[in-house]
Amino acid sequence: MKQRIFVAGKLMAETESKLQALGAAFYTGDGKITEAELIQGVRFSDALICPLSSPVTAKVLESSKNLKVVANVGAGFDNIAVKRAKELGIAVTNTPEVSTEATAELTLGLILDVMRRISAGDRLLRERPEEFTGWAPTFFLGNGLAGKTLGIIGLGKIGQAVAERANAFGMKLIYSGHKPKEMAKKWNAKFVSEKELFETSDIVTIHASYSEELKHLINHETLKLMKKESFLINAARGPIVCEADLITALKRHEISGAALDVFEFEPKVSAELRQIEQVVLTPHIGNATIETRIKMGEIALDNVQAVLNGLDPLNSVY
């Protein structure tokens, strides 16, 4: 009997054409798929391919007697009830490492943007062009990267890719969390305590894998440790940062600025964050390159085909 695949969101055309050839069914609704729509979609399916925004709850997993694999299109998998999937014998896969280069590139872009005030400069020329009267020695000053200390929370694959790029800008590197000492020597990166990282960094960037223990790692207390001249970058997971505390710190000028690609209550973005001039905001585009998204779809499909052919998944999350 032909095995059925349900696709819970739009993918790149290259991946969709391959799935269409396999007879896959696609979610065609507007916006993010709901739990109820997922239940309907997987009821008779053998495989589910889903964006990491899909709420694959225990109820969704229990609604299908045939489901063998859930393939997340994304490196994360906190949208899936993994423990329940394991109990039910359903494989869960993700698309790790393929996001590394793209996310590191965006992180450096966010650092450059918030420190050199690139987006702010763009807004000025579009909205208040009369303020630009020509080059002047003290006009629209930002901060350079060379010689600044970058504190990396989590020196995993993405953290290392960020370190490689930051090193090329002449930045000093410190890190907490992972301890890949041999790799760190390459950039003269120094392992420090989390407290020291917050206290001494000019820029703090988050690259730790999300877990409940990391919720609100960035809060009133940790922000208080940071220098008033420092900046916070988050291209990891929104809930790592307590947005209310960050907004307070920014308004009180306890830190100089922030650049965020992810948000605590995503897809909702706080109106207060949007109103603060020294904040750069991007709509969760860390790995949003054409090349990366095509590869992510291919990996998800490869995982599904492996499981449906009786083989082990290529990228199991448990």
Contacts of 77 (CB under 8 A, 6+ apart): 52, 92, 94, 317
Q: Active site includes 216? A: no
Q: What does the alpha-carbon distance between residue 145 and residue 160 come to, in Å, rounded to a whole number?
A: 18
DSSP labels, 278-306: TEEE--S-TT--HHHHHHHHHHHHHHHHH
How far apart CA 265 and CA 250 sit, in angstroms, is 18
266 part of the active site: yes
Q: 109: which residues sit within 8 A by CB, 6+ positions away?
A: none
Catalytic residue among 237, 243, 254, 293: 237
Instruction: Using the structure block, give the residue that is written with the tokens 């200390």.
Output: 149
203 in Cβ contact with 150 (< 8 Å):
yes
Marked catalytic residue, from 14, 131, 229, 266: 266
- Tell me which residue of 224, 278, 271, 225 sits closest to 250, measured CA to CA: 278
Q: Which of 43, 84, 116, 284 is catalytic?
A: 284
- 207 given a catalytic annotation: no
Residues marked as catalytic: 237, 266, 284
